[in-house]
Homo-oligomer: A and B are copies of this chain.
């Protein structure tokens, strides 16, 4: 039954007044420092996720007790004011959703509020800018040239050249980012905009090389609307799925035009605490090939190493006997040399599927060895049903922006995200029933996550265990890619032998067997002791496979203060790198400016992987 114009208008007015009333009461209670009154505005089951603005942390508190505890610890210092809606609230299915804004003692924030029956169900608050340190963008963009006549003029080019000779040598950066992939690059851009002297070091020569050097058929599986970097979105002509070399070129261009201090061909040898900062020893290789050891002394160290830094190859017996080619998926050159050859790929997640499909296309005889179940979802279905409401042309046409989409997603409490996502994947399972049936008929071991909550939860919990199908699954279903199942027992001179005795002749073995943990990767930079102090990086603590509890309700150690002052982790897919880069940058900027950053409930450290 469609609503009449009057009914719509009246519903809108009622949503607006409900939101205004709630915010007004909340503001009153906050101003009066009446923590209980503020907490009383939240429902029994409720979640307040704060990104920096109240807590100088990234944390979700639950229920009135959680809200009260947060406020008791932060309210006086934060002194929130001006809570208001910033556009017409919407109502659907009994939930009123309102975009909000507010000020604090440190800056300006925004967020998203969901009300049910007059009480807050979810509240997201984020600090978006520091007063007095606003990003020079749009109306604040720099002039570029000092108009007038000045005897001490330094041109832009001279200034950049000077920076290149000084920073890291005679002038130390405030922040050192280790890792020049999308995470390091996005964060570097935010820091530059905030005037925080930053160096990014990267072991590969050029920005984008970590993409360029991968197997030739690699392309992004996330669609363009999801992938924009800060400040400079992909143009309207950019393809939906970026081929690896194209994203490589974009990252290289971006680092240049966004004026990042990017040291390629630079490896980090050690990083130790030194006073209130760090001493980081790096080897920097110049264009002429000479290697220079440089000690960098940043106050803040950010590890943006990515999730694919530490290839893991299990110690299968007989590896040294095998006479064919064998390598980890990260070192796989592509299929061109294997036409007519027998290829055995160990693994059944993303890289395994991509590599198997490319080998098939090149005319190899391909077998995929599935050791554990994999969550498979078709790219189209994921785009339509999974993220289409937030990241797509139709979303843009309906008024969505990248920031809004990111914020909406960030406002969904992790505690209930699985329950929210499950129906999406039920719908996908139904839409693609025939497809899944054929896959299972071929013997493929399918899952939808431990609790059927699908791909994104698998990503957040463990960063692995899935394949976004862009064509390989059809080959699995029709036998083009042969399937073997079980654990690898050993290799012989020319075979892979499985636990059940199955012998797979092979000219090539590709170990699509994943990567070490981010903590292990970090240990290579900061040492095992410090890595132990920090604990596990990534995961929610959901108690599901590869995400042992206890529950944290946020991604462990990501984008927020860690157990080691001055040590930070940045990263995630392009969307997360984009969204959280602002909040990491603000936390670092605040520390540089001596703005008080009392951290509410720094997360406990956990080690179970």
Contact = CB atoms under 8 A, between A and B. Distances in A.
Given A149-B357, A216-B158, A237 B231 contact: yes
Nearest to A159: B243
A471 interface: yes
Copies of this chain: 2
A377 to B, nearest CB: 13
B239 A145 contact: yes
B246 A151 contact: no
A597 B232 CA distance: 38
A193 B160 CA distance: 34
Contacts of A257: 235, 246, 249-250, 253
A245 B155 CA distance: 9
Interface stretch (A136-144, A437-445, A498-506): A136-144
Contact of A141 (B141, B240, B475): B240
Given A216-B155, A217-B155, A246-B156, A241 B363 contact: no
Nearest to A231: B235
Contact of A143 (B135, B217, B241, B244): B241
Nearest to A334: B155
Nearest to A219: B145
A361 interface: yes
Interface string A469-480: 011101100001
Contacts of A253: 253, 256-257
A169 interface: no
A245 B257 CA distance: 10
Range, interface on chain A: 35 or more
B393 A138 contact: yes
A85 interface: no
B475 A149 contact: yes
Given A216-B158, A257-B250, A470-B147, A141 B238 contact: yes
A258 interface: yes
A249 to B, nearest CB: 6
Given A193-B237, A216-B157, A231-B235, A361 B256 contact: no
A167 B221 CA distance: 31
A258 B246 CA distance: 10
A249 B147 CA distance: 22
Contact of A240 (B143, B216, B357): B143
Closest 6 CB pairs of A and B: A144-B239, A156-B243, A232-B235, A137-B236, A253-B253, A144-B241
Given A139-B393, A147-B471, A149-B471, 11 more contacts: A143-B240, A144-B238, A147-B241, A147-B379, A148-B470, A149-B361, A150-B361, A151-B361, A157-B216, A193-B237, A246-B257
15 contacts: A141-B224, A141-B236, A143-B240, A144-B239, A144-B242, A145-B241, A147-B380, A149-B360, A155-B217, A155-B243, A155-B245, A156-B243, A158-B216, A160-B245, A253-B256
